[in-house]
Amino acid sequence: MSLVIKRNENETVNGKQIKHSQDISENVMTEEMLLKKGIVTPDDILKLPYITENYLCSPDANVYDIDFVRFKIRDLETGTVLFEIAKPSMPPGPEEGENEADSDDPDPNAGRFVRYQFTPQFLKLKTVGATVEFTVGSRPISNFRMIERHFFRDTLLKSFDFEFGFCIPNSSNTCEHIYHFPTLSSSLVSEMIAHPFETRSDSFYFVDGCLMMHNKADYAYDGGLTK
């Protein structure tokens, strides 16, 4: 039997205002609950009702040294490349005795967030391919999985679930995942175009069922429109 907890009108849950008519069941996890957990699992993530405001794991959780070095999105129907980004090569290290003040206190979340800007035409696409190149460290990786959840404001648009398979140590890997986009109402499409960067996503990466990486992105679909 599922326990259902009634929330009072205007009560705040996970920083969001919950209407009186909305129920929060035992099958829902809040961001605050997950931040207190030692191990976050795929089942936990699938119970999140909203986009996260924080990262649910630190960069240090990536003990397998997974490093995404290139990412490309293409329209599967035409083959047109819609977006491509590559991680820049690391510059040479400073010479001995050189001032390293600029490297003090680096942002620990650098590289965990991407901002995309597309034209409204992107929202008409049905299927795109996302090719990712990544390297792994000295440990083999099994059961490498990604769950990616897309929201517009507080509305879940779609949750994607992909397997990367087994990765041998010290390897460079390439795979393409196929995204089948949901059909959106014309009113929702108009709202997404009119409110850039209010469409957001969380990408959660797991190894053997444990959260190892958490990346974020936001999206605008007003490219090419007159402001």
pLDDT of residue 87: 84
List domains and CATH numbers for the chain.
Answer: 39-88+124-220 (2.70.50.40)
Residue 23 has pLDDT above 80, yes or no: no
pLDDT of residue 217: 97
Write down the residue that tokens 């649910």 correspond to: 56
More confident residue, 18 or 65: 65
More confident residue, 18 or 44: 44
d(CA 98, CA 56): 36
pLDDT of residue 25: 58
pLDDT band at 167 (very low <50, low <70, confident <90, very high): very high
Length in residues, the chain: 227
pLDDT of residue 88: 80
Rounded to the nearest angstrom, the gap between the alpha carbon of residue 129 and the centroid of all alpha carbons in its chain is 16
pLDDT band at 52 (very low <50, low <70, confident <90, very high): very high
Residue 122 has pLDDT above 70, yes or no: yes
Question: What percent of the chain is modeled with pLDDT above 70?
Answer: 80
H-assigned helices in 18-67: 31-35, 42-46
For the whole model, what pTM was predicted? Answer: 0.81
On whether the CB atoms of residues 67 and 46 are closer than 8 A, the answer is no
